[in-house]
Amino acid sequence: MRIFHLSAECYPVAKVGGLADVVGALPKYQNKAGLQAAVVMPYYDRKFTQENEFDIVYQGLTLLGERRLYYQILKERTDKLGFELYLVKIPGLIDRVEVYSYPDETEQFIAFQISFLDWINFSNQSPDIIHCHDHHSGLVPFLIKHSKVYTRLANIPTVFTIHNGQYHGAFGYNKLGYLPEIDETKIGLLDWAGAINPLASAVKCCWKYTTVSPSYLDELTKSSNGLEYLFYLEHNKGQGIINGIDTEVWDPSTDPMIAGNFTNKQITKGKAKNKAALCKHFELSTDKPLIAFIGRLVVEKGADIIAQAMEKSFIDHPDAFNLLILGAGDKETEKELLALKSAFPVNCNVFIGYDEPLAHLIYAGSDFLLMPSRVEPCGLNQLYALRYGTLPMVRSTGGLKDSVIDFGDENGYGIRFNNASIFDICHAVNRAIALFTDIKKLDILRKIMVELDFSWDKSANEYINLYNSLKPKI
């Protein structure tokens, strides 16, 4: 079974968020299960492309409205990622450093999708499934059904995965001319709220759409930035499949980025060694519970209320716990967290930015990981934390709800709370402080956590079953 995954991100080529981690792992595990999965993404002038060798496997001309575009399809030579990697390169448009935030971003992603379709159409490739990820590839299901240019591709099943339903990639009808010739009687399949909406179009036109957790499938009918009614109508077409993690990359027994490797049987000593290294680096004491936050400092992650909640907790529990923040985002939130660090220098430290090796060390060395997310379609951080024996403190939403059971419930191992509020975060901190004093109980929970299986093997098989259901010949 030949699968093409289309995505704007893929770790380690280009990463902004969890989308990259998923697309960098799922195809590898699908190949291990016997598929022929490949990734197709835009070319970025970054470290990975500079340090690896690529072959030009196809080149051609396409049109973006009246603009003629010369494109190349580059293939990474050695398949070092565990799957075939193809990059779409268009000089002056898709050959830049950053993934997002260019003023012509709409043109970039339309050109990416058209170039991909031209390539597989005119080179006579016939994948069994085209698997699109987020709105950056959301026009593909419509185009292969309703553009005369791609008639040959019309019967290829399309799967569309929604990693974050808040971002739609919508643009005005003044850019409709960028698309190849389409059946204008089907233009309503592109539309939502008077604009061309790639995410909405993909949901309407794909054969099946998936969300990155079962709970998020239901939550989209209540909160999806204006598409709630669409997801209500199309709910039966959707399926929630929770993400996995790459257990080869995230393995405390082999991870080269942590201070000391450890197995499940060495969890207590291993955590202590990494906590000592982490606390030494950030000038924090090791004898207190260490609560960490890793992620984007944005409203959807609940980061805007962390400083207020932690200030209250520091006042209520003087010198009773430590806090470590790794992240960047909203500038006002960054200022508030840096002010918190200044107010409580003995118990709090903040690293503005992102550092992959440091993130690994934080997962290995922290006692608790805070995730007060307002929106969390799946979440990977809690899965990384579990793998390293760090107890997640999460709001009950999306994939956090599906992957973390409160330690007060049967077979539980985490801390869950209901609201993204100062009160709920403070209550979770109270519970974490109390739990830390019960070393025996904490050790038992850690041993439960590290034995959990959130690898991609199970999730990859669910996708394979989905693919098999779409076409009788497969």
Residue closest to 140 by CA, chosen among 159, 161, 115, 113: 113
CA distance 389 to 274: 11
pLDDT single digits (tens) 380-405: 999 999 999 999 999 999 999 999 99
Q: What is the mean pLDDT of residues 408-421?
A: 96
Position 474 confidence tier, pLDDT thresholds 50, 70, 90:
very low
The torsion defined by the Cα of 240, 245, 247 and 253, in degrees rounded to 10, comes to -130
CA distance 161 to 157: 13
pLDDT value, residue 473: 47
Domains recognised in the chain with CATH numbers = 2-244+457-470 (3.40.50.2000), 264-453 (3.40.50.2000)
pLDDT single digits (tens) 323-381: 999 999 999 999 999 999 999 999 999 999 989 899 999 999 999 999 999 999 999 99
What is the bridge-based pairing of β-strands 54-64 and 238-240? unpaired
CA distance 95 to 369: 37
pLDDT value, residue 458: 87
pTM of the model: 0.90
pLDDT single digits (tens) 239-262: 999 999 988 889 999 999 999 999
pLDDT single digits (tens) 147-156: 999 999 999 9
CB atoms closer than 10 angstroms to residue 253: 10
CA distance 288 to 375: 30
Name the amino acid, one letter, at 129. I
Tokens of 413: 């191992």
Whose tokens are 């995730």? That residue is 371
CA distance 280 to 284: 6
pLDDT value, residue 472: 58
- Contact by Cβ (8 Å): 262, 269: yes
pLDDT single digits (tens) 265-293: 999 999 999 999 999 999 999 999 999 99
Tokens of 159: 């799967």
pLDDT value, residue 68: 97
CA distance 177 to 167: 22
CA distance 369 to 387: 12
Residues constituting the chain: 474
Half-sphere exposure of 177 (CA within 13 A, CB side): 4
pLDDT value, residue 18: 86
